[in-house]
Amino acid sequence: MAALFESRRHADDADQRREYVRYLARQRGPMIHALMLVATLAYAVAAIASTFIRSSALPLPLRLAPLLPLLLVAVTARRASEPRHLSLLALLCVLLLEGGINLNSIGSVHGGSGVMPGLLLPVASSVIWLARWDFLCAMALCALGPLPMLLIGDIDHTQVVQYLVYMCIAIMLSTVLRAFMARTLFAQFQLEQQLRERANTDDLTGLLLRNRFLELARRTLRELHQQQRPACLLYLDADHFKLLNDNHGHAAGDAALVALSRVLRGQARGTDLLARIGGEEFALLLPGLDLAQACRRAELLRQTVRQVERPDGPLTISVGVAACHLPHESIEALLARADQAMREAKREGRDRVISSRHPAAEQVN
């Protein structure tokens, strides 16, 4: 069910963006953690090495104070799975590094050179940001972080202008790197989505395959149970399909299945789940409908399908309808009851809708 599946996963731009950000978090999470550890180590080395290069008004232990929070942020980032949490931790890491750079610049005779390591942050962090908002926040932190020491320190205006020019170049380079990286990753994300869709949909009809249908249906039923909303399942089968294949060839059978799937998609809502279960059998999960409403939908569907012409007459279907009565009834049990009702419709003469009995009163034949 290409159209319906696409409407659930790709038509809504907001949903696609959220899915893409989650994809980026999974892909970049280990790299973000590794870069945080490298940044922590680099800060420690730079702070210790600076004692041999220039004098500072602050003792070394105080200048190493950001190390502990940096390590805590890196450890927390390793366990973070939500994209927003990961972005906030990365921003906190940048803020701590900027604070450490300012600490190491206090009282330095060559204060201007002390803030120059901050020029590395925009480029070094350009590939880790998951969305536009965190990238803009990070660039603002990188640009404004060292300014207090530049403005209040004993530094001439030439150094301030030099810093601003170099920072602008670094931010522009970071923007270009992020844009090209984002384009590459988004193309990869779309390709993986397309491959997953092809693996989860039937080539002939474009409908969901059984396993993917069961996966999505389990999730849908769980949400409906939490919301205390009803759900019904239609299980339908094309009548006399083997006879059509035997007398008119498999091409005629395929054409009938394609026409049937087209009618099903036309009747389905955006919240419905539609799948080709196997052969000429299809399933349609109807969230939010009770048994009476589902039976009316099934009857309308049956009448619409009859308008499709086969080489040997109108296309007809037998439909079984089952309502989800029990709070924790599985999709497999619901599918089995609808299947049994469909087979009862076959026994009673085909081209009809039969509803399943309540599971507590149902007997296994």
Q: What secondary structure does DSSP assign to 354-365, as a single string? A: EEPPPTTT----
H or E element in which residue 286 lies: strand 281-287
Predicted confidence at residue 107, as pLDDT, reads: 61
pLDDT at 1 over 50: no
Does the pLDDT of residue 364 top 60, yes or no? no
Q: Is 231 left (phi over 0), alpha (psi -120 to 50) or beta?
A: beta
More confident call, 10 vs 346: 346
Q: What average pLDDT does this structure show over 296-300?
A: 94
- Which of 31-40, 185-194, 286-295, 355-364 comes out lowest in average pLDDT? 355-364
- Lowest mean pLDDT segment, chosen from 51-55, 183-187, 330-334: 51-55
| In the predicted structure, residue 281 carries a pLDDT above the cut 70 | yes
Contacts of 55 (CB under 8 A, 6+ apart): 107, 108, 109
Q: What pLDDT, in 10s, does the model give residues 123-170?
A: 888 888 998 999 999 999 988 887 777 666 666 677 778 778 888 999
Whole-model pTM over 0.75:
no
Length reported for the chain: 365
Q: What is the pLDDT of residue 359?
A: 53
Tally of CB atoms within 10 A around 243 = 12
Q: Work out the percent of the chain whose per-residue pLDDT is above 90.
A: 50
Contact 189, 23 (CB under 8 A): yes
Given a contact cutoff of 8 angstroms between Cβ atoms, the answer to whether 317 and 260 are in contact is yes
Separation CA 37–CA 85 (nearest Å): 17
Q: Which of 16-20, 24-28, 78-82, 328-332 has the lowest mean pLDDT?
A: 16-20
- The answer to whether 320 and 356 are in contact (CB under 8 A) is yes
Which phi and psi angles does 363 have, rounded to 5°? -110, 140
Higher-confidence position of 118 and 284: 284
Q: Which of 215, 280, 299, 362 is catalytic?
A: 280
Which domains, and CATH codes, for the chain?
2-197 (no CATH), 210-355 (3.30.70.270)
Q: Is 280 a residue of the active site?
A: yes
Q: How many helices (H) and strands (E) does the chain have?
A: 15, 7
Give mean pLDDT, residues 263-292.
92
